[in-house]
Amino acid sequence: MASVRADGLCGAAPSGQPLQWVGDVHDEDKTDVDICETQWDQGRVVKGIEVWASKWNVQGIQLTFSNDELGHMIGTKQGNKHQKLEWDPKSDTVEDVQLWSNPQATRLGKIYIKLSNGATLDIGIDKPAETAWYQETHSGIMLGAFGRADSAISAWGFMFLEDRVAKISISDFKFDEDLETFVSQRRGIDKVVFDSHVIYATTTNDPAIWVERTKTETNSYSYTQAVTWSYGLNYELEISAQVAGLGPKMSFGVEWKVGMEFRKQWTESEATTLTFKVNQPVEVGHTTMCVGYTEMGVFDGGYDALVHITLKNGKEFEFRERGTRKQAVFGKSETRCADLKGDFHEEDPTSFVERVQSNWNQTGQVERRIPTAFIG
C-alpha cells in the first residue's frame, strides 16, 4: 500500500482521507499512466463495477456511474476471470472493500467488495499477497477510483463520500425557456371539457336538463434530478427557485405568474374535485346544451441548477446539475348552458355553447332561463 498525491478531481473529491492505493507506483515496464476515474463534480456516484483478471493480476476495471454512463476502460478485458457487481446508490451502500497486490507488490492482485444487501464481488489471482488492505468506506457511497495502469492495473484505490448527506439545497435555477415569455404567452394553458349534456326538446316530456357529476383530478408538481437517488436517503431538502407558478387558484381560469418558490419535497400532489352540476329548463322546439369544463395549466421545463450538499460532519461541496420541473394544475370547474330554437343536437356542445353565448354578448340579449354557472 502506498500514499499518493492526487491532483485534479480525485484530489479535490470530498472523500475525507489521504488517497491510498494497493500496488506499485510504477511497474517494471514503466509504461503505466495516472488514473482518476470519477464524476463527483457532476453529482454522479458509482453504481457498478466490472473486473477482468488473469492468473497474474487484475487486468481491467470499468466503473458504471449513477447516470448509467460507463466510465473509461482501465487496463484490458483480458484474463480467464470476469465479474460484475451493480447496486442502487439510493438504497444500497458499500460495506466492505479489501484490496491485495500480487506477491511481488508490482500489480493489483485481487479485489473484494461487499454491499449492504449482501451481494459481493470477489475476483483476482489465486495467491495474492498475504496481507489485505481494508479500505475505509465511510458513507458507503462510492465516488470513483484512482491509480495507475497500462495493459493491466498497476495500482488501485477507491474513493468514498466521507460522511452521510445531511442536507441538499437546490438554487440558482436557469430554465431553458425564459419564464417571462412563457407567462406572457399563456403557454401550457388549455381548456378541458369533462362533461356535456344535449337535449333537442320535441315534446314537453323533457322539462329540464338535470345533471350532477363529479370527477377527481390531481394538482401536482415535481422536481426530477439525479441527485435524488445518487446520495442515499434521509436528508433534509431545500429547493429555492424563481418559477412560473400558479396564479389565482379559486377561479375557473388558470394563470401563470413568475415568483419565488420554496419547497421541502421533490414531489407533491393534491386531489381536486371537479363538479358538473346543472338544473336547466328546456323549451319545446329548442336545442339546449350544457358543458362542464375548466382550464388546465401544464408546465414542463428543463433547467440547470446549483446543488449544494452538506454532510453530517459539516463538510460542504457543490456542483451544477440538469433537472426538470413539472407542474399540472386544474382551475375550478364551471358549467355553462345555452339554447337556440331549432335542431342543433349534432353540433359539438362546446362550440354550440360558445357560439350562442357569443351571439348573446354581441346583441346584448339576456341569457334566457340560463342559470348562474355552478362552480365546482
With a CB cutoff of 8 Å and minimum separation 6, the contacts of 39 are: 65, 67, 69, 71, 144
Q: Encode burial over 28-67: b for 16+ CB neighbours within 10 A, e otherwise.
A: eeeebeebbbbbbebbbbbbbbbbbbbeebbbbbbbbbbe
Domain that holds residue 216: 167-363
Question: Half-sphere exposure of residue 201, counting CA atoms within 13 Å on the CB side?
Answer: 20
Question: Are 79 and 224 members of one domain?
Answer: no
**16 in the same domain as 33:** yes
pLDDT of res. 254: 84
Same domain, 158 and 216: no
In this structure, the answer to whether residues 231 and 337 fall within a common structural domain is yes
Are residues 175 and 322 in contact, defined by beta-carbon separation less than 8 angstroms? no
Distance between the two ends of the chain, CA-based, in angstroms? 72
* Listed residues 162, 190, 225: the one ending a domain: 162
Same domain, 196 and 261: yes
Residues 6+ apart with CB under 8 A from 63: 37, 46, 48, 49, 70, 71, 144, 145
CA–CA separation, 237 and 222 (whole Å): 13
Does residue 370 lie within any of the structural domains? no
Report yes or no on 341 lying in a domain.
yes
Query: What is the C-alpha to C-alpha distance for residues 99 and 129, in angstroms, rounded to an integer?
Result: 10
**Domain termination residue (choose one: 162, 181, 216):** 162
Judge if 58 and 158 occupy the same domain. Answer: yes
- Does the residue 374 lie in any domain? no
pLDDT given at position 153: 93
In a domain, 368, yes or no: no
Taking the C-alpha atoms of residue 336 and residue 334, their distance in angstroms, rounded to an integer, is 7
For the chain of 376 residues, list the mean pLDDT of each consecutive stretch of 10: 55 77 60 89 95 95 96 94 96 95 89 97 90 91 93 92 95 94 90 87 74 88 88 89 77 85 92 87 89 90 96 94 93 88 91 88 56 38
Specify whether 271 is located in the same domain as 294.
yes
Q: Measured between alpha carbons, how far is 5 from 14 in angstroms, rounded to an integer?
A: 15
| Spatial separation of the C-alpha atoms in residues 170 and 85, rounded to whole Å | 31
| 373 lies in some domain | no
Q: Residue 105's domain is classified under what CATH number?
A: 2.100.10.30
pTM: 0.79
Whether the Cβ atoms of residue 158 and residue 147 lie closer than 8 Å to each other: no
Residue-level pLDDT at 375: 37
* Count of residues making up the chain: 376
pLDDT at 5 (0 to 100): 41
Q: Are residues 59 and 201 in the same domain?
A: no
Q: What CATH number did the domain enclosing 284 receive?
A: 2.170.15
**Assigned domain for 369 exists:** no
- Residue 360 CA, chain-centre distance (Å), reads 49
Report CA Rg, the chain: 32
Q: Which pLDDT does position 277 carry in this prediction?
A: 84
Cell reading at 18: 489521504
Cα–Cα distances (Å) from 323 to 46, 130, 227, 243, in that order, read 19, 48, 9, 13
Whether residue 371 lies inside any domain: the answer is no
- Asked if 265 and 205 sit in the same domain, the reply is yes
| Residue 262 near residue 173, CB atoms below 8 Å | no
The residue to which cell 491485495 is assigned: 100
Q: At CB < 8 A and 24+ separation, what contacts does 39-42 make?
A: 39/65, 39/67, 39/69, 39/71, 39/144, 40/9, 40/13, 40/14, 40/143, 40/144, 40/159, 40/161, 40/319, 41/9, 41/12, 41/319, 42/319, 42/321
Domain boundary among 162, 183, 206: 162
Residues 140, 242, single domain; the answer is no
3-state class (DSSP) for residue 237: strand
227 and 322 assigned to the same domain: yes
SS3 193: strand
Instruction: Please give the tally of structural domains in the chain.
Output: 2
- Measured CA to CA, the distance from residue 334 to residue 305 in angstroms comes to 38
255 in any annotated domain: yes
3-state secondary structure 53-102: ECCCCEEEEEEEECCCCECCCEECCCCCEEEEEECCCCCCCEEEEEEEEC
State how far the Cα of 104 lies from the Cα of 374, in Å rounded to an integer. 86
Cell of 48: 457498478
Partners of 200 in beta bridges: 287
The residues facing 51 across adjacent strands are 61, 83
| Pair (175, 154) in one structural domain | no
